[in-house]
């Protein structure tokens, strides 16, 4: 009887609205301000779970309070990792999210003064309902943090992935974000450059195809003096994929000498794609510089002509761009499990021969796996 009640609870779903809401919104009819998700309702049967230290509660993570709260409630035990002051940690901190098992992860990493660490998160799988990850990072003074975020879910998967970062004086955050699959994916990211001279560099890459929905919200709050942010986003949209990219640089009052830059390049290869972009610069300070550039379009006739003269058809050329994305993800995925997840996704998108070839070129063991 008790089991039946639990199963009934598990089947219940609820709607998380206002996912990925940017700090500054615009006309509602454009349907660019937020997204909603239907998710399983977390249920509790008296278990007590480990939670992160309270210091992580104030870390903004871009995906929205409602979604973050759901992840925390649905995740079971939270995982807390502390990198001690001055420690140069070589082994990456790995967060594995098995989407097939509908896993939900809540992780907090505290990188103490002068320490360095690499964090790799990888969501992967083929089928299943909803998976999610919430990673919050506090980087103390002069800390160095590298974050690799991989979402390599299959076409039947829904996934929410949120990252929140607080960077103190002199801290440096280098991040690479890869959205390689998933039928409905929300990526939320917020970075607070609170300390003087803190820096954030993000290289975000995505591929959305079929009828995939990819929804991204990047928020950088530059609060400290002489802070610097550089966001570079490149992506490929194919078939009838729908993508929304929100990028906000918030130059907060008092952030004298701060500079923020965001650049997005989108390659559109499908006739039915929907490509929405909201690049926002908020400026409440005089002595700052904010820049944004975006370029959206197909491969130019000149580029196609050049490739054609070397025997590459339009289709092959477009697949080359997709392959380059997987190459890059594999080069930076520092963990063997993450590499296999990327290869599995490459197999699904590009075919087993291409996936095997990528593995061979990069000298990675290829374990045949696909959805």
Partner 1 sequence: MADATDTSRKRSQVADVDRSLYDFKYSEEGYERYADGLSTDIVRAISEKKDEPEWMLQLRLKALATYEEMEMPDNWGPSIEMLDLNHISTYVSPQTKQANSWDDVPEDIKNTFERLGIPEAERESLAGVGAQYDSEIVYHNMREEVADQGVVYTTIEDALHDPELEPLVHQYFGTLIPMRDHKFAALHYAVWSGGSFVYVPEGVTLPYPLQSYFRLNAQGAGQFEHTLIIVEPGADLHFIEGCSAPKYYEANLHAGAVELFVKDHARLRYSTIENWSKNMFNLNTKRATVGADSQMEWVSGSFGSHVSYLYPTTFLQGARSSCEFTGITFAGATQDLDTGCKVILNGPDTTASVDTKSISKDGGINTFRSSVVVGRHADRARATVSCASLMLDDISRSDTIPAMDVRNGSASVGHEATIGRISDDTILYLMSRGCSEGEARTMVVNGFADPVSKELPMEYAIEMNNLIKLEMEGAIG
328/339 Cα distance (integer angstroms): 11
Task: Show contacts with partner 1 in window 73-112 (CB under 8 A).
Answer: none
338/99 Cα distance (integer angstroms): 13
Determine, following the binding rule CB under 8 A, whether residue 62 of this chain makes contact with partner 1. Answer: no
Q: Figure out which of the listed residues 1, 27, 54, 90 binds partner 1, where binding follows CB under 8 A.
A: 27
Taking alpha carbons only, the member of 181, 118, 107 closest to residue 146 is 118
13/43 Cα distance (integer angstroms): 11
Determine, following the binding rule CB under 8 A, whether residue 273 of this chain makes contact with partner 1. Answer: yes
Determine, following the binding rule CB under 8 A, whether residue 268 of this chain makes contact with partner 1. Answer: yes
Taking alpha carbons only, the member of 150, 123, 134, 149 closest to residue 59 is 134
Minimum Å gap between C-beta 214 and partner 1 is: 14
Cβ(265)–Cβ(254) below 8 Å: no
Cβ(61)–Cβ(165) below 8 Å: no
> For residues 30 and 336, which CB has a smaller minimum distance to partner 1 in the complex?
30
Q: Figure out which of the listed residues 168, 222, 270, 345 binds partner 1, where binding follows CB under 8 A.
A: 270
Minimum Å gap between C-beta 227 and partner 1 is: 15
Contact segment (CB under 8 A) with partner 1 among 9-17, 29-37, 67-75, 132-140 equals: 29-37
Determine, following the binding rule CB under 8 A, whether residue 304 of this chain makes contact with partner 1. Answer: no
Residues 6+ apart with CB under 8 A from 209: 236, 237, 238, 239, 241, 270, 349
| Size of interface with partner 1, in residues (CB under 8 A) | 43
Cβ(288)–Cβ(226) below 8 Å: no
Determine, following the binding rule CB under 8 A, whether residue 36 of this chain makes contact with partner 1. Answer: no
> For residues 121 and 244, which CB has a smaller minimum distance to partner 1 in the complex?
244
> For residues 251 and 349, which CB has a smaller minimum distance to partner 1 in the complex?
251
DSSP state at residue 42: P
Taking alpha carbons only, the member of 222, 236, 312, 228 closest to residue 273 is 236
Write down the H helix ranges in the chain.
Answer: 2-11, 65-74, 301-309, 314-332, 336-350, 352-361
Minimum Å gap between C-beta 237 and partner 1 is: 8
Minimum Å gap between C-beta 42 and partner 1 is: 27
Determine, following the binding rule CB under 8 A, whether residue 204 of this chain makes contact with partner 1. Answer: no
Determine, following the binding rule CB under 8 A, whether residue 211 of this chain makes contact with partner 1. Answer: no
Task: Show contacts with partner 1 in window 279-298 (CB under 8 A).
Answer: 279-298
Taking alpha carbons only, the member of 153, 93, 156, 82 closest to residue 123 is 153
Contact segment (CB under 8 A) with partner 1 among 73-81, 176-184, 265-273, 338-346 equals: 265-273
Give Cα 305 to chain centroid, integer Å.
34
Determine, following the binding rule CB under 8 A, whether residue 305 of this chain makes contact with partner 1. Answer: no
Determine, following the binding rule CB under 8 A, whether residue 138 of this chain makes contact with partner 1. Answer: no
Q: Figure out which of the listed residues 7, 253, 313, 368 binds partner 1, where binding follows CB under 8 A.
A: 253
Contact segment (CB under 8 A) with partner 1 among 55-63, 165-173, 267-275, 354-362 equals: 267-275
Minimum Å gap between C-beta 61 and partner 1 is: 20
Determine, following the binding rule CB under 8 A, whether residue 35 of this chain makes contact with partner 1. Answer: no
Which is it for strands 289-297 and 274-283: parallel, antiparallel or unpaired? Answer: unpaired
Taking alpha carbons only, the member of 146, 105, 147, 145 closest to residue 124 is 105
Minimum Å gap between C-beta 357 and partner 1 is: 28
> For residues 224 and 270, which CB has a smaller minimum distance to partner 1 in the complex?
270
Q: How far is CA 147 from CA 144, 234, 302, 342, in A?
A: 10, 18, 36, 16
Determine, following the binding rule CB under 8 A, whether residue 302 of this chain makes contact with partner 1. Answer: no
174/86 Cα distance (integer angstroms): 18
Determine, following the binding rule CB under 8 A, whether residue 275 of this chain makes contact with partner 1. Answer: yes
Minimum Å gap between C-beta 256 and partner 1 is: 8
By CB under 8 A, name the binding residues for partner 1.
24-28, 30, 32-33, 251, 253, 256, 266, 268-298
């Amino acid at each position: 009887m008790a089991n039946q009640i639990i199963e009934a609870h598990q089947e219940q779903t609820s709607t998380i609205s206002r996912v990925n809401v940017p700090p500054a919104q615009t006309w509602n009819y454009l349907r660019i301000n937020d997204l909603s998700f239907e998710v399983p309702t977390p249920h509790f049967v008296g278990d007590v779970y480990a939670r992160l230290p309270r210091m992580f509660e104030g870390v903004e993570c871009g995906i929205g309070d409602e979604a973050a709260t759901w992840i925390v409630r649905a995740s079971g035990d939270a995982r807390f990792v502390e990198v001690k002051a001055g420690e140069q940690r070589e082994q990456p901190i790995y967060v594995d999210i098995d989407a097939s098992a509908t896993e939900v992860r809540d992780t907090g990493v505290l990188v103490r003064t002068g320490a360095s660490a690499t964090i790799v998160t990888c969501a992967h799988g083929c089928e299943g309902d909803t998976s999610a990850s919430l990673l919050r990072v506090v980087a103390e003074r002069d800390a160095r943090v590298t974050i690799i975020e991989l979402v390599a879910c299959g076409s039947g998967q829904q996934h929410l992935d949120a990252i929140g970062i607080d960077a103190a004086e002199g801290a440096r955050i280098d991040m690479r974000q890869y959205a390689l699959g998933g039928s409905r994916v929300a990526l939320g990211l917020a970075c607070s450059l609170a300390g003087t001279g803190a820096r954030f560099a993000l290289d975000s890459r995505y591929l959305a195809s079929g009828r995939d929905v990819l929804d991204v919200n990047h928020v950088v709050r530059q609060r400290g003096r002489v802070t610097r942010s550089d966001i570079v986003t490149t992506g490929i949209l194919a078939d009838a994929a729908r993508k929304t990219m929100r990028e906000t640089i918030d130059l907060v009052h008092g952030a004298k000498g701060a500079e923020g830059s965001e650049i997005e390049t989108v390659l559109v290869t499908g006739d039915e794609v929907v490509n929405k972009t909201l690049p926002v610069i908020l400026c409440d300070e005089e002595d700052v510089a904010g820049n944004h550039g975006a370029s959206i379009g197909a491969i130019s006739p000149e580029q196609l002509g050049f490739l054609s003269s070397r025997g590459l058809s339009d289709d092959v050329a477009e697949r080359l761009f997709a392959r380059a994305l997987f190459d890059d993800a594999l080069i930076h995925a520092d963990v063997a499990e993450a590499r296999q997840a990327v290869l599995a996704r490459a197999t699904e998108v590009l075919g087993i021969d291409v996936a095997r070839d990528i593995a061979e070129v990069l000298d990675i063991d290829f374990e045949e796996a696909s959805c």
